[in-house]
Amino acid sequence: MKPLKGAIAAVLLAVAGMVAPPPANAMMMLGNYDVLTNRYDRASWVWYVMACIPEKTTDCVDVSGIARLKYYYEYEGKAHLDGNTYTLVVDVPDGLRCPFGQVLPSRDTYTWDQATLAGEINSTYDVGCNGGPPGTQFWTFVLQRL
């Protein structure tokens, strides 16, 4: 009778683990993600998400942005979890793409919900296209696990 009770308990625990949501402080799943965004019309990106080193805490992940086209710069940084929102800030040498081929640097802040993996990109730049004023642009994105 004891082996039967043990087997039932093991099955119930396994089912509960599949159905129950992860704890609120659980780390984002590590691995590769497709960055689906309305920002780019010619490029797409893959994020390689890994544990922060040397921190290895549940509220930090290292993100490497890998361009699928060779003419775009790659970026990397640490994303920190605050509540249910991750925030990643990166400096991108070609973040502002102007008409007629001009590219200018930007500071991009990615924020996304840890459960839905949907978020927003806030891109700021000190000089606009053709010497224009500084500015900010916003886009949406969602991460899709590969």
pLDDT (tens place) for every residue of the chain, 146 residues total:
555 544 454 444 444 444 444 445 567 899 999 999 988 777 788 999 999 988 888 899 999 999 888 778 899 999 999 999 999 999 999 888 888 888 899 999 999 999 999 999 999 999 999 899 999 999 999 999 99
* pTM, rounded to two decimals: 0.79
Q: Rounded distance, CA 146 to CA 144, Å?
A: 6
Domains along the sequence of the chain with CATH:
25-145 (2.40.128)
Beta-bridge mates of residue 86: 81, 112
Counts of helices then strands in the chain (DSSP H, E)? 1, 8
Q: Are strands 60-67 and 31-37 parallel, antiparallel or unpaired?
A: unpaired
The DSSP secondary-structure symbol of 100 reads G
Beta-bridge mates of residue 51: 61
